[in-house]
Structure 1
Amino acid sequence: MRIILLGPTAAGKTKLSLLLAEELNTSIISADSRQCYQHLNIGTAKPSPQELEKVAHYNISLLDLEEEDSAMEFQKRAAKWEKEILKNADHVFYVGGSTLHIQSLIQPFNDMPEANEENIAKLENRIDAEGIESLYGMLKEIDPEYIHKMDGMNTQRIIRALDVWMQTGKPFSSFHNQGEIQPDKDTIVFGLKWPREKLYDRINERVDGMIERGLIEEVKSILDAGHPKDLQSLNTVGYQEIIKYLDRKWTLEKAVEKIKTSTRRYAKRQMTWYKRWDFIHWLDADEMSAEEMKEEVLNRLN
C-alpha cells in the first residue's frame, strides 16, 4: 500500500509522519522539491538529525546545490525507492507539499524530450537582453496552467517549459495532465487542513523560528562556500529574500516580512491545487492532535 500525506507548508506533516512511520514500521520518502538538496536545512524545514535517526528518510540531502532537479526526476527515483522499501515493509509512505511531486506519484508523467541546448541558449540570450520577465510573459500566454503551479518566477523552470514547447508545440503542463487524476486502488491520500488564518499564524511563527535557528547564517555559509546566487536550488522562498538582505538591498525586517508573505501565498496556491482532488481524506489538524490523526489514518488503513 502506498500512503501519501500532503498539506500546505507549516501544517504539521513532519510530526504526524514520524508517528505513522514508526507505527507502520516503514520509511518516509520526502515529496518536497527542496529538501532533496544538501545544505538547505533550516529554510526547507528539513527533519532534524534526531528525527532522521528515528525514521529512515529518502530524498533528503541527496543532491548537490548545483544539480538541477524536477518532478519527473523525482518520479524516477521514487519508483526505485518503492521497490527497495517494499522488500521489508508493507507500506510506502510519502510526505510533502510540492504539488507536481505529489501528482507524479498519482499520475506518472508522460515522456518529454531531453533539453535542447540550442533552444536554451536562445532563451538565455533573451533573458540577458530583455530580462526573465519577458520569458515569464511568453510562458503565461502559452501555458497559464503551468504558471499557476510554479513557486514564483523560477528561471530554470521557465526555460525548461519553453524549451519543451519549442520542441513539441505542446504546453509543458500537457505532459503532466492526461485525463482525470485518480489514485490507483493501492494508493490512499491523506491531507492536513487548517483554517486559513490559523495556518497563516503558524507560517509567521515558523519563519520567525527559522531566523532564530540561524537561517541567515545558513545562507551566508552557502554563499561563502562559493555557490552562485542564481542556482535553481536557491531560487526558493526564504533563500532569495535572505540573499537580498545579505546583499544590503533589503533590511532584515523587510526580508523577513517578504518571506512570510511569499510563504502564505505559496500555501494558498497549494490548498487551491489540492481542492481539485476529491480523493483526499482530510484530517482536521486544528481540532485533532497528532496522536488522534494517527489513529484516524490507521483506522482508514484497516
Structure 2
Amino acid sequence: MGNTSRFGATTVTDDVLADTDLTGHVALVTGATSGLGAETARSLAAAGAEVILAVRDIAAATVLRDRIRDRHPHAVLEAVHLDLADLGSVRAAVHLLTARRQRLNILINNAAVMYTPFGHTTDGFELQFGINHLGHFVLTSGLRAALSAGAQRTGHPSRIVTVSSAAHHRYPADLGDPNFHRRGYDKFASYGQSKSANILMTVALAARPTGDVHAFAVHPGVCATNLARHMSRADLTEMRRLSSRDPGLLRTLKSVPAAAATTVWAATDARLSALNGAYLADCAPAQASAHATDLDTAGALWGLSEQLTAHRR
C-alpha cells in the first residue's frame, strides 16, 4: 500500500493505487456509469480488481466498460441492473450476485441523488432518504455474507465504503419523521439527513461483533458532476449560505479523480484497519458531527431501517 502521509486534498485515484495489486479481489460500485462512480470503478479495475458496475442503465454501463477496457485492456468488469429507488430491484440484484459468485471484497455505496423535488421511491419512501440510505442499507445487508466470504478468501477484512458528504453537519437524521410525513419538505434537510444516515450506518456496521468486514464513510469534497443536475441558482445561493462557516468550500472544486481518491483509499489501504467505522475526507481521518456518530442513534437507525424495509418485497 502507498504511504498515506503523502496523501491529501489533491491526491488522485492513481496516486492511491500506485503500489496496490487488487488481483483476486471483487469490487461492486453503485452509480458507476458517470462521475465519481465511474472513476472509482476504473481505478479499481486498473489495479486488478474484478469490478461489478451496479447501475440502472445497463447500456451506459456497457459503454463505460468498453471505455475502461480501451484504456486498461486487462480490466475485468461486468454490469448488473440495480435501481436503489426500488427495493425489489435491490433484492433481485443481491439474489443474482450471490447466485453468480459467493464472495465480494469491496462494496462501494456511491450512488446518490441530491436536492431533488419532493417525491417518493417505488416503495413510498421520500426520494433522497430512500435512495441514498434505505436502498444502500438493503444492498449492504444482503451482501454481508458475500463480504465475509471474501474476507475468508483473502485473509483480510472486506471493506464497505459509503459516500457521505459534509452536508451532514447541519442535519441530523430525523428518526421520528425520516420521510417527511409530518414536517414540511426541505430538500437540503432531506439530503443532509440522508448523508448523516450514511455515517450512522457505517458506525452501526463497525459496531458489529464480527471483524471480517470493515466500514468507512467518506466525504469526497466538492466536485462538478451530474449529482448537481437538480440544482437551481437559488439552490447554489442557499448552499453558499449553509457553508458560510467554511467560505472556501464551494470555491475549491476537486477534479473527479481527486474527489474519488478518498473512496478508493478507504477501500484499499491496509493502514485503515485500526480505524473501522471512521469518517474520512481528503485521504485522512476527519471529524463527523456528533449526531452522525452516536452509537445509540446508529443502532436506532439500523432498527428503523430494518422495520421500514422488512415488508417491502
Place the TM-score, normalised by the shorter chain, in its bin.
Answer: 0.3 to 0.5
Taking structure 1 as the reference length, what is the TM-score of the superposition?
Answer: 0.34
User: Normalising by structure 2, what TM-score?
Assistant: 0.33
Larger Rg computed on CA atoms: 1
Higher helix share: 1
Between the two structures, name the one with larger relative contact order (CA 8 Å, sep ≥ 6): 1
